Chain A
Amino acid sequence: MEGRAPSPRPVTRRARAVRVAVGLLSVWLLALGLLYAAGYRPLVVHSASMAPAVDSGDLVITRAVAPADIAVGDIVSFHDRSRAGRLITHRVTALRREGRGVAFVTRGDVNTATERWSSAGDAQVGKLALRVPLAGYAVTWLTRPVIILALLALVLALLASAVLGARRTRHVTRSVVRFGLAGLASAAAIVSAPIMLGATEGAFSAVAANSANTFEADTTFCTTAPQVVSSVADTYVSQSDPDVNDGADPSMTVTSQSGENARSLVRFTLPVAPVDPQCPMTSAVLRLTQQFSLFAGTLHAKRVTAPWGEMTATWNNQPITTDVDLAAAPADDNAFDVTAQVASMYAGTNNGFLIRAGVESVIGVTAYSTREAGSAPTLTITYG
């Protein structure tokens, strides 16, 4: 083959120089390409918010990894949405799995402010693999346009002289093709350097914060004081005297004994509810003044649903009651929470309360003062 035949003249020194240069550039290009294929990327660091771990002018090699492979403390490069997508290199201070993705909190080591960002599970994050201090300055200088142009010019000059030298070897066409390819590879290598070389920043940020501002609303917005009203009617009815009215008695009793049960009746004029919408009723308590008690059981206060008269009520004509919202309390409490019953009275009709033993068989008796005794039963309503 003619192509394998030795050249009529030895290879010129220029041609050898071109060959060596092209070889070196190709190795450089191949190394960069392989690094790229493996997910590595060289980045020049342009600011010092990660100092001293990563400083301005450093060259860092980052590797593309899945977000799940990042741990707290790692230094990562990411496009910061809050900085117009600029490539930022900061340290991960916290992270949280979000489905397949990860939510990160990152911060520059010298910063007091953080960035919060998320990465989808199939996205990639750059993780710091290698740092070469100050190499960023050198690389940046070498990839300046004027240096690139100078290198390209040098390659062209070498090619031109090599082609001229080759003309004397009579293999002009073949030489031009070979040297042309070589020149193309060289130019690609030279131009690729600044294109492949990325830039990253360790952006600066700081916060001033005022914390622990505490706000607490009152448990009530109502300034209306509780209202207390005294009974306007109170009496008791006794099974042992089923047709007798005791409306004028200064006492009323609640008795539990088979055939001799007694029940008390009490009624109030409900106070006018406040107009302030911030003042709904929050509680209503029926209080009795005890004269004596020989009763250990539970008493019930029930809402009366039919009219009755203080001076006409008897065991036999006692009004009917409802068990709805009935209030139960030990006999010695002398107080019943009748909030729900009073709400029903405001909404409907008010016929007062009937107080009786919860179970009318256990023997016992309790006596209370009536309004005729000067210490009437009271109803206390609170708002708020």
Chain B
Amino acid sequence: MPRRSVLILAAIALVVAIGGGQTWAAYNATTASNANSFASGTVALTDNDSGAALLTLATAVPGDTDTGCITVTYTGSLASAVHLYGTTSTAGTGLDAYLDLKITRGTFTGAAPAFDACTNFTPDATNYGSGNGVVYDGTLLAYPDDDYLSGIVDPPAGGAESWTSGESHVYKLQVTLRDDIAAKGKNATQTFTWEARNT
């Protein structure tokens, strides 16, 4: 290859490379973190509900309440963070605004009862801001919707816990109908979700 051609080629290449990078920048800023780590493993989260609903209120009047406990177990191999959020069915008529929801994290001391009983439930000893073990206390309407990022960090105070294989926690969910006549005849259907992502 003649010397001059080589030099011209090199110069063109430099210009194109520098110019081309800007086209890309619109959607891409290189992330070089973990550049040399190749992750393999699994992230898996299970619960003990066997497809049954945790909470139910039928022909409820103000003050009516239902309580259920669910055990969430991490079975993946990669350490993960867990967030809690929910999905309120759009088919509902807005009862979620009149339902108070309280979620408490804890363990079963002694034998674990059948789903969804809370016998032997003991809240975490840590106060996450709303009492020992309480991770959420508010209306069902205000419970984070369908999004990991806006979901409740587990636990909500003291930094996200790193869930490791075999780790499990019991969540006690309690829902109570508010004393508000506007709730009359309304309904809501809710999915409660725990999402694990490797850290």
Interface set of A (CB-CB < 8 Å, partner B): 19-20, 22-23, 25-27, 29-30, 32-39, 41, 44, 46-48, 56-57, 64, 77-79, 81-83, 85-87, 110-113, 115-116, 123-126, 136-137, 140, 144, 178, 181-182, 184-186, 188-189, 192, 195-196, 198-199, 201, 203-221, 223, 277-278, 280
B14 to chain A, nearest CB (A): 6
Is there contact, CB below 8 Å, between B192 and A210? Answer: yes
Q: Is B49 an interface residue (CB 8 A)?
A: yes
Main secondary structure of the interface of A (DSSP, over half): mixed
Other-chain residue from B31, B148, B190 in contact with A113 (beta carbon distance below 8 A): B148
Among candidates B34, B57, B98, B193, residue contacting A199 with C-beta atoms closer than 8 Å: B34
Give A57's nearest chain B residue, CB to CB. Answer: B38
The residue in chain A whose Cβ has the minimal distance to the Cβ of B151 is: A82
- Cβ 8 A contact of B53, one of A26, A110, A212: A212
A217 to B177, Cβ gap below 8 A?
yes
Q: How far is the CB of A294 from chain B (nearest CB, A)?
A: 43
B3-45 interface with A by 8 A CB criterion:
3, 5-7, 9-21, 23-24, 26-45
Inter-subunit contact A27/B60 (CB<8 Å): no
Q: Is the CB of B57 within 8 A of A209?
A: no
Q: Does B161 contact A (CB under 8 A)?
A: no
A-B residue pair count with CB separations less than 8 angstroms: 270
Q: Which residues of B lie under 8 Å from residue A26 when comparing CB positions?
A: 6, 9-10, 13
A194 to B181, CA, bound (A): 65
A32 x B1 contact (CB < 8 A)? no
| With known contacts A209-B193, A210-B49, A204–B42 Cβ distance under 8 A | yes
Given contacts A64-B27, A203-B198, A217-B98, contact A196 B76 (CB under 8 A): no
Chain A residues positioned under 8 Å from B41 (CB to CB): 204
Interface of B is mostly: mixed
20 pairs, CB–CB < 8 Å, chain A vs chain B:
A27-B9, A29-B17, A30-B9, A33-B15, A33-B16, A56-B39, A83-B197, A87-B28, A113-B196, A184-B10, A186-B10, A188-B17, A204-B80, A206-B76, A210-B193, A213-B191, A216-B186, A217-B177, A221-B181, A221-B184
Q: Assess the B191–A46 pair: CB atoms within 8 A.
A: no
Q: Is the CB of A204 within 8 A of B148?
A: no
| Contact in complex: A215, B49 (CB < 8 Å) | no
- The answer to whether the Cβ of B46 comes within 8 Å of any Cβ in the partner chain is yes
Pair A33/B181 contact, Cβ less than 8 Å: no
Q: A113-B197, A207-B196 are in contact. Are A214 and B56 (CB under 8 A)?
A: yes
Asked if B184 and A217 make an inter-chain contact with CB atoms under 8 angstroms apart, the answer reads: yes
Q: Considering only CB atoms, which chain A residue lies closest to B18 in the complex?
A: A33
Query: With A36-B17, A203-B198, A215-B56 given, is the CB distance from A140 to B35 under 8 Å?
Result: yes
Chain B 42-63 interface mask (CB, 8 Å, partner A; 1/0): 1111110100011111111110
* Max count, chain A CB within 10 A of own CB: residue among B17, B43, B56, B61: B17
| CA gap between A137 and B36 in the complex, in Å | 9
Closest to B188 in A: A215
Which of A30, A125, A207 is close to B13, meaning CB atoms less than 8 Å apart? A30
* B118 is an interface residue with CB less than 8 A from chain A: no
A87: nearest chain-B partner, CB-CB: B31
Q: Closest Cβ of chain A: how far from B60's Cβ, in Å?
A: 5
Min CB–CB distance A236 → chain B (angstroms)? 41
Report the bound CA distance from A211 to B191 in whole Å. 4
A249: shortest Cβ distance to chain B, in Å?
44
The answer to whether B60 touches A217, judged by C-beta atoms less than 8 angstroms apart, is: yes
| Known contacts A198-B31, A209-B192, A218-B60, A204 near B26 by CB under 8 Å | no
Interchain residue pairs A-B with the least CB separation, the first 7: A36-B20, A185-B10, A33-B16, A33-B17, A204-B43, A37-B20, A30-B13
Asked if B134 CB lies within 8 Å of chain A CBs, one says no
- Interface mask (B104-146 → A, CB under 8 Å = 1, otherwise 0): 0000000000000000000000000000000000001000001
Q: CB-CB < 8 A to A188: which residues of B?
A: 14, 17
